[in-house]
A and B are shown apart, each in its own frame.
Chain A
């Protein structure tokens, strides 16, 4: 056993382990998640992920159908009546329609917020260890994306912020994560609060709006928007609607459970606001 530990190979392996521990400590001390070797690996992986994401829509559909086989069999019976050429034409039509909708959404968002610049990003990765809907997009520093850039959906709803920007991809933390906090306001009543994720509700695709006063006039269905306070998030970005109002555990304030305007778990495409000048100062 002593010989085993004194071999050159074992010493080299121990050296690698120490190096990794050093990288871990360095990253922890500097508030970073990744470093150069990892960014290189990530850059190599991105083209594969981009290709996979392009076909994942189809795979996703097949898997969903498999899990709902009974419903699908009945549906299939009905669909068989359609002829093949019509279906092919429908596929072409759907593809063109989706593309057109995406451009229309972008045009509308840009019309409503001409002061912002957007980078269009497709979601290319969702890791099994990610607990709060976080994902990777195919836009990185080469496309002007930076850490803390705000990410919105095709319809302009707040999705999250860029946690770390790589060369050709970026990691996004979503509004379902308890780590994300944004100043918000109830659009109708102007009640202020903090928008944040909650482990209790994240599984259902919901987030929370905390620190509402006990006597708030906000009700179910009210819209939540960002205030722009803090300088990270621009003002007046739509978040979603109040689904439920519950007292905070201490009883001193109210918590609104928010249904985000866009289902975070099924997003396939987003826009990143790449210019950081929101006209707000901290």
Chain B
């Protein structure tokens, strides 16, 4: 039987591990030159946010998503709260979708990340490129946005494995 103190320590260790993973993901995502092909770079924060939502449930996942989004807003130079709101909603929705319709497998997770990245990157492209009237929108979408999506999805199992390890070590039995 776990005491209250033990439980508090376990939860603190778990969220400290997730926080370190978030800092590592943000660092990898913004690391100059890392995995850059033709202007496209993989996103690491989004898969981590979804992986945590998957293992920790919709509410904890949504709140973690909001924190992930705040950090991403900062690194991407987006107005504060924009990506935070997006990841809050995506974290919540992803957890519900998996609980109701999907099994927690790396393959399903990869598809989920691809869908979420498509939604998020397309929305960002719409607001920060297409609606500003910049030229060659379709070309940019195909050469930068879609490769970014593919990179992100391909590398997303890393986040899944990491979050599963943390959840397995310090999660509820």
Q: Which residues of A contact B (CB under 8 A)?
A: 9-10, 12-13, 16-17, 20-24, 27-28, 32-35, 37-39, 41-42, 44-45, 48-49, 51-53, 56-57, 59-60, 63, 67, 123-131, 134-136, 163-164, 166, 171, 173, 178, 199-200, 203, 268
Contacts and interface: CB of A to CB of B under 8 A. Distances in A.
Given A21-B81, A128-B148, A131-B128, A37 B32 contact: no
Which 5 pairs between the two chains have the least Cβ-Cβ distance? A60-B33, A199-B134, A24-B81, A125-B30, A128-B41
24 contacts: A12-B59, A13-B59, A16-B63, A20-B85, A21-B81, A27-B81, A33-B77, A34-B74, A39-B74, A42-B74, A45-B26, A48-B26, A52-B31, A63-B36, A124-B32, A125-B75, A126-B30, A127-B77, A128-B43, A128-B148, A129-B77, A130-B77, A136-B30, A199-B129
Contact of A23 (B62, B81, B136): B81
Nearest to B96: A4
A121 to B, nearest CB: 13
State the majority secondary structure of interface residues on A.
helix
A164 B27 contact: no
A4 to B, nearest CB: 10
Nearest to A173: B77
A268 B31 CA distance: 11
B77 A134 contact: yes
A67 B37 contact: yes
Contact of A52 (B27, B70, B134): B27
A127 B81 contact: no
B75 A135 contact: no
State the majority secondary structure of interface residues on B.
helix
Contacts of B40: 128
Interface residues of B, number: 54
B71 A45 contact: yes
A53 B67 CA distance: 23
Contacts of B62: 13, 16
B33 to A, nearest CB: 3
A169 to B, nearest CB: 9
A162 B131 CA distance: 25
B13 to A, nearest CB: 18
Interface string B122-163: 001000110010111000100110001000000000000000
A178 to B, nearest CB: 7
B79 interface: yes
B41 to A, nearest CB: 4
Contact of B136 (A9, A60, A164, A199): A199
B80 A34 contact: yes
Nearest to A28: B79
A129 to B, nearest CB: 4
B24 interface: yes
